[in-house]
Amino acid sequence: MKSSSGPDYTVTEASADFSASLPSQERERVQGELHKFTRWLGLHRKTNALSPLDIASYSEQLTPPEAKAIKAFLTYVHKREFTAANLANHLRVKKAPRKAAPTQPQENTPIQMTQRGYGKLETELATLRSQRSNVTEEVRRAAADKDFRENAPLEAARERKSHLEGRIQEIESTLKSAVIVKQSQRAAGIKIGDTVTLCDLNSGRQLTYILVDTREANPTEGRISSSSPIGRTLIQKERGQTIEIAAPAGTFRYRIEGVQHETS
C-alpha cells in the first residue's frame, strides 16, 4: 500500500496498516471486528476527522472482547500520529450481565427503517450476491497452490469470502425483519427517519443528522443510530429543546434548531 502522511490516511488504510503489523493468528482474530468498525465509520473517512463522540457512540454496542480489538487499533493509530488524541480513551463498554436462564429466542423482531435505507440494503445485497462466483473462483485458484503454510493469497481470498457471506447473511436477516417507517404511523416528537438540525452550545456550530436504525447508520452521510448516545437522547424530543450527551470526553450540549419529518 502506498505511503501517506498521517492526516491523509483513511480509516481503511490505517486498518490495513494495523493488521499488517500483527502476527497472523492475532490478525485473523481481530479482522472481523475491524471490518465492522471501519464500515461503520465510513471506509473513506480520514482518521484525523474522527471524534470522541464517534468512538463513544460505537462503543455502546460492543462487548468487552470486541472493544479490546478496537482499543488496540485506536492506540496504534494515535502512536502513528494519525489522530491528535488517543481516542481509545473514549471507549465506554458496559460490563456483560450475568448469564440468565435460557429463554425462548425472539425471532423477526421488527426493525424500523427508512425507505431510503431499505432500498440501499437491497441494492447492496444484489451487488454482493453477484460477487459470489468471482470470490469462490479466487479461493479455488489460490487453493491450487499446495503449499498452504505461506499461502497469503489463499488466506486473503478466504477472508474476503468470509466477509462477503457474513455481510449477505446480515443484510438478508435485516430485510426480513424490516418495517418501513411511514408518516401515518408517527407520534409527536423526533422519530427514526427524521432530519434534525442541532446547534452546539459550546462552539455555536450547526450540525445536521438523520436519525436511523443502527443498521443504516453512516456517520460520513450524517446518518446516526437511534441507539447511539445522541440518537437515544433525541428520540421524542421537539424543536427548541436543549439536550445533553454525557461522554468520556465531557458533556456535549445542543439545542434542537429544526426537525424535518420523514415523508415516505
Query: 161: helix, coil or strand?
Result: helix
Query: CA 157 to CA 138: how far, in whole Å?
Result: 6
Query: CA 87 to CA 52: how far, in whole Å?
Result: 6
The amino acid sitting at 3 is S
The amino acid sitting at 25 is Q
Provide CATH 1.10.287.180 ranges for the chain.
115-180
Provide CATH 1.10.150 ranges for the chain.
6-90
Asked if the model's pLDDT at residue 236 lies above 80, the reply is yes
**Range 94-106 average pLDDT:** 46
Q: Cell match 490516511: residue? A: 9
Q: Is the distance from CB of 52 to CB of 87 less than 8 angstroms?
A: yes
Instruction: Look at strands 223-225 and 206-212 and give their pairing.
Output: parallel
Fold classified for 6-90: DNA polymerase; domain 1 (1.10.150)
**Range 39-47 average pLDDT:** 81
Query: 86: helix, coil or strand?
Result: coil
Query: 228: helix, coil or strand?
Result: coil
Q: How confident is the model at residue 178 (pLDDT cuts 50, 70, 90)?
A: confident
What pTM was estimated for this model as a whole?
0.53
* The three grid cell numbers given for residue 20, joined into one nine-digit string: 499488517
Query: CA 54 to CA 38: how far, in whole Å?
Result: 12
Provide CATH 3.10.50.30 ranges for the chain.
183-260
In this structure, what is the dihedral angle of CA atoms 171, 173, 174, 176, given to the nearest 10 degrees? 120
What's the confidence (pLDDT) of residue 240?
Answer: 93
What's the confidence (pLDDT) of residue 106?
Answer: 47
Q: Which class is 115-180 in CATH?
A: mainly alpha
Asked if the model's pLDDT at residue 200 lies above 80, the reply is yes
Higher pLDDT, 254 or 101: 254
Fold classified for 183-260: Chitinase A; domain 3 (3.10.50)
* The three grid cell numbers given for residue 144, joined into one nine-digit string: 491450487
Report the candidate in 66, 61, 94 with the shortest Cα–Cα distance to residue 224.
61
